[in-house]
């Protein structure tokens, strides 16, 4: 018998590999942080022995979900200014509230609360763009969550830096501070083409190249942004990115609502990745991104919640449901964005979009043991004919029972093991009271 640390036994294992393999009664052997074997329960348990056996109870066992775009510390602004157009929401409420309130304390506690929310709803990896990202990294490390994050960069001052050069220096310090960490990965994040000059974009690209890291940017989130950028740049936004050398396999573009066929073709040719944020786009009435067309063209698409100020939650199962239904009703086609395709955007393809598919996104030997168990013994999950359909259309975040990240159990039986969630709730409640006292009324 081969000794391992853990066996996850007795569940329906969805490997989320290219073949979309399902093992009806399977087991997973975990050694340290890694998956070492997966297969039929009888075969795995005849070969491996572990001190700890986690009984999946016949539930669904699958890779942890990947939230491809969010601003986790914005849990502190949840519901602050709803039902507004994007630019009014951003310029009249969010930017002023951030300038007045965001500090290291808000970033840490808002991020820790977000980690609690994400773990509880089955997310094990997230990609973050915000302010004071070292505090977000510390919160993720405390929670035991895996992340890719970077300091948001602007031409104008942020609560954390005065000049773009200071923002770039802060990002470089993040690379140095978290180099080699098992959970925390850093990338470069200019906010958007309407908030970043060409010199800042070029400097951001150079920094990403220097550290062999991705570069992320908000792009073409609504029609008015597209028109504004065409007037400002004298060409389309995607053509501009190509002309200044940013359009390549390093680039992760968030939203991409207003893309035409030419833009999509350039993305596919240059290997650009896209993160789709359907609920935020719906709430801000930004439009419907041409995601089926992108996937058909060969663009890698992941899924994200965006931040709590524009969603207003971090439940990726809810996002899966919205992603599938939005495109069906928009195209009047019930076949488009089927459950398997959508689920891939939050697992295997989502990990690939972040450059982390060598680590997560599948149940496969050699990958990290980032695994969730869904309790399917629920009225709303009975009966079950098709696992993928259930996960997209019926499962909610509250159905996640157990979560492992890097082989470590971070939630068991719905109880968080790495976060004092009640302390985080109280801290963010106090921060919210301070914000409320000084905020402009919608």
> What is the average per-residue pLDDT within 164-193?
98
- 173 shares a domain with 97: yes
210 lies in the same domain as 308: yes
Q: pLDDT category, 88, cuts 50, 70, 90?
A: confident
Average pLDDT over residues 412-434: 97
* Residue-level pLDDT at 441: 59
- pLDDT at 380 exceeding the cut of 60: yes
Q: Is 436 domain-assigned?
A: no
Confidence band, pLDDT 50/70/90 cuts, at residue 439: low
Give the pLDDT confidence score for residue 367 in this predicted structure. Answer: 98
- CATH code (residue 192): 3.20.20.140
305 and 345 housed in the same domain: yes
Tell me whether residue 260 is in a domain.
yes
Amino acid 89: pLDDT:
81
Do 37 and 175 belong to one domain?
Answer: no
Residue 330, pLDDT score = 97
Q: Is the pLDDT of residue 219 over 70?
A: yes
The per-residue pLDDT for 86 is 76
pLDDT value for 90: 80
Looking at residue 332, its pLDDT comes to: 97
Mean pLDDT within 120-129: 98
**Statement: residue 85 has pLDDT above 90:** no
> Do 116 and 226 lie in a common domain?
yes
Per-residue confidence (pLDDT) for residue 211, from 0 to 100: 98
pLDDT attached to residue 350? 98
Within-domain flag for 428: no
Residues 28 and 70 in one domain: no
Q: Are residues 346 and 224 in the same domain?
A: yes
> What tens digit of pLDDT does each residue of 248-293 get?
999 999 999 999 999 999 999 999 999 999 999 999 999 999 999 9
Whether 242 maps to a domain, the answer reads yes
Domain count, the chain: 2
pLDDT per residue as tens digits for the range 2-15: 999 999 999 999 99
- Domain identity same for 224 and 280: yes
Q: Of 325, 353, 381, which residue is a domain's last?
A: 353
Mean of the per-residue pLDDT values of the chain: 96
CATH number of the domain where residue 400 is located: 2.30.40.10
- Predicted confidence at residue 91, as pLDDT, reads 85
pLDDT band per the 50, 70, 90 thresholds, residue 92: confident
pLDDT at 1 over 60: yes
Whether 398 and 296 share a structural domain:
no
Q: Which domain holds residue 31?
A: 2-63+370-416
Whether the predicted pLDDT of 140 surpasses 60: yes
Residues 206 and 184 in one domain: yes
**120-131: average pLDDT:** 98
What does the pLDDT read at residue 80?
Answer: 86
Say whether pLDDT at 198 is over 90: yes
Residue 442, pLDDT > 70, answer no
Tell me which of 395 and 436 has the higher pLDDT: 395
Q: Does 29 reside within a domain?
A: yes
Q: 142 lies in a domain?
A: yes
Q: What is the 3-state secondary structure (H, E, C) of the chain?
A: CEEEEEEEEEEEEECCCCCCCEEEEEEEEEECCEEEEEEEHHHHHHHEEEEEEEECCCCEEEECEEEEEECHHHHHHCCCCCCCCHHHHHHHHHHHHHHHHCCHHHHHHHHHHHHHHHHHCCEEEEEEEECCHHHHHHHHHHHCCEEEEEEEECCCCECCECCHHHHHHHHHHHHHHCCCCCCEEECEEECECCCCCHHHHHHHHHHHHHCCCCEEEEECCCHHHHHHHHHHHCCCHHHHHHHCCCCCCCEEEEECCCCCHHHHHHHHHHCCEEEECHHHHHHCCCCCCCHHHHHHHCCEEEECCCCCCCCCCCCHHHHHHHHHHHHHHHHCCCCCCCHHHHHHHCCHHHHHHCCCCCCCCCCCCCCECCEEEECCCCHHHCCCCCHHHHHHHCCCHHHEEEEEECCEEEEECCEECCCCHHHHHHHHHHHHHHHHHHCCCC
In a domain, 431, yes or no: no
What is the mean pLDDT of the segment spanning 216-242? Answer: 97
The answer on pLDDT for 178 being more than 80 is yes
pLDDT at 299 over 60: yes
The verdict on 146 and 59 lying in the same domain is: no
Look at residue 432 and tell me if it is in a domain.
no
pLDDT at 440: 60
Please tell me whether residues 159 and 182 are part of one structural domain.
yes
């Amino acid at each position: 018998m081969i000794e391992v640390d853990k066996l996850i036994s007795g569940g329906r294992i969805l490997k989320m590999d290219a073949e979309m393999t399902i093992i009806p009664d399977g087991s997973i052997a975990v050694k340290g942080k890694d998956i070492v074997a997966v297969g039929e329960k009888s075969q795995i348990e005849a070969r491996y022995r572990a001190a700890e056996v986690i009984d999946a109870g016949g539930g669904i066992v699958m890779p942890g979900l990947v939230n491809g775009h969010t601003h986790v510390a914005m849990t502190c602004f949840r519901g602050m200014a709803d039902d507004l157009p994007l630019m009014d929401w951003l310029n009249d409420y969010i930017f002023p509230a951030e300038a007045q309130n965001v500090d290291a304390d808000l970033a840490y506690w808002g991020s820790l609360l977000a980690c609690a929310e994400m773990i509880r709803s089955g997310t094990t990896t997230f990609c973050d763009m915000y302010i004071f990202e070292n505090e977000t990294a510390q919160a993720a490390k405390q929670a035991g969550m895996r992340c890719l994050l970077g300091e948001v960069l602007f031409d104008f001052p942020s609560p954390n830096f005065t000049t773009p050069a200071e923002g770039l220096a802060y990002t470089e310090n993040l690379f140095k501070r978290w180099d080699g960490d098992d959970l925390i990965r850093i990338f470069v994040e200019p906010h958007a083409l309407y908030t970043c000059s060409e010199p800042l974009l070029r400097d951001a690209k150079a920094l990403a190249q220097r550290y062999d890291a991705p570069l992320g940017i908000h792009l073409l989130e609504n029609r008015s942004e597209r028109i504004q950028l065409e007037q400002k740049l004298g060409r389309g936004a995607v053509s501009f990115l190509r002309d200044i050398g940013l359009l390549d396999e390093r680039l992760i573009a968030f939203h991409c609502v207003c893309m035409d066929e030419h833009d999509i073709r350039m993305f596919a040719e240059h290997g650009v990745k896209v993160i789709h944020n359907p609920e935020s786009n719906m709430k801000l009435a930004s439009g419907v991104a041409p995601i089926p067309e992108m996937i058909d063209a060969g663009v890698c698409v992941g899924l994200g919640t965006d931040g709590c100020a524009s969603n207003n939650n971090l439940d990726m199962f809810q996002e899966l449901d919205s992603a599938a239904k939005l495109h069906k009703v928009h195209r009047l086609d019930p076949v488009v964005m089927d459950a398997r395709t959508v689920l891939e955007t939050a697992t295997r393809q989502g990990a690939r979009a972040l450059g982390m598919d060598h680590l997560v996104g599948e149940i496969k030997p050699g990958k990290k043991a980032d695994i969730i168990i869904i309790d399917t013994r629920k009225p709303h999950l009975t009966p079950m004919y098709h696992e993928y359909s259930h996960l997209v259309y019926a499962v909610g975040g509250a159905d996640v029972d157990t979560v492992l990240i890097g082989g470590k159990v971070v939630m068991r039986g719905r109880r968080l093991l790495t976060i004092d969630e009640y302390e985080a709730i109280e801290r963010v409640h106090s921060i919210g009271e301070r914000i409320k006292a000084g905020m402009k009324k919608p």
